[in-house]
C-alpha cells in the first residue's frame, strides 16, 4: 500500500496533454488523497483542478473540483479527503508562465 506523496509537478501555461496529469490511481487500487496547489508566480493566475477518468490531461466540466479559480501570488489552495477509484487522475491547469507547484499526497488501498 503506497502512502505519502503520490504525485508532484510544476504546472505552467505551457504545460499540456498528459503532462497536466499529476497523479493517476493505479488499476486495482482506491486512493484517498489531498491536493495542495501553491502559487510560485509573482502575479495572480487562474487554475483548474479536475479528477477525470482519463490519463491524457483532458477533462469535462463534470470532472471539475475548481473551475477558473483565482490564485494570488504565494496563495495556496488545498482540497482534502478526495476519494478516487482506479483510473481517475488529478489534473491541474494554470494560466501563468511561472505556474503552480502541485502535490498530491495520501494513501492507496487494494480493492
Q: Is the pTM of this model over 0.85?
A: yes
| 92/97 Cα distance (integer angstroms) | 14
In the prediction, which pLDDT does 84 show? 98
**What is the distance between the terminal CA atoms of the chain, rounded to a whole angstrom?**
11
For the chain, 111 residues long, the average pLDDT of each consecutive 10-residue run is 94 95 98 98 96 96 97 97 98 96 98 95
Amino acid at each position: 500500500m503506497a502512502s505519502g506523496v503520490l504525485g508532484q509537478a510544476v504546472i505552467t501555461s505551457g504545460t499540456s496533454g498528459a503532462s497536466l496529469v499529476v497523479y493517476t490511481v493505479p488499476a486495482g487500487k482506491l486512493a484517498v488523497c489531498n491536493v495542495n496547489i501553491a502559487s510560485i508566480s509573482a502575479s495572480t493566475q487562474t487554475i483548474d483542478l479536475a479528477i477525470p477518468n482519463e490519463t491524457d490531461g483532458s477533462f469535462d466540466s463534470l470532472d471539475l473540483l475548481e473551475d477558473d479559480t483565482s490564485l494570488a501570488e504565494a496563495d495556496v489552495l488545498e482540497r482534502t479527503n478526495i476519494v478516487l477509484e482506479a483510473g481517475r487522475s488529478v489534473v491541474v491547469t494554470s494560466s501563468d508562465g511561472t505556474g503552480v507547484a502541485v502535490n498530491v499526497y495520501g494513501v492507496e488501498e487494494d480493492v
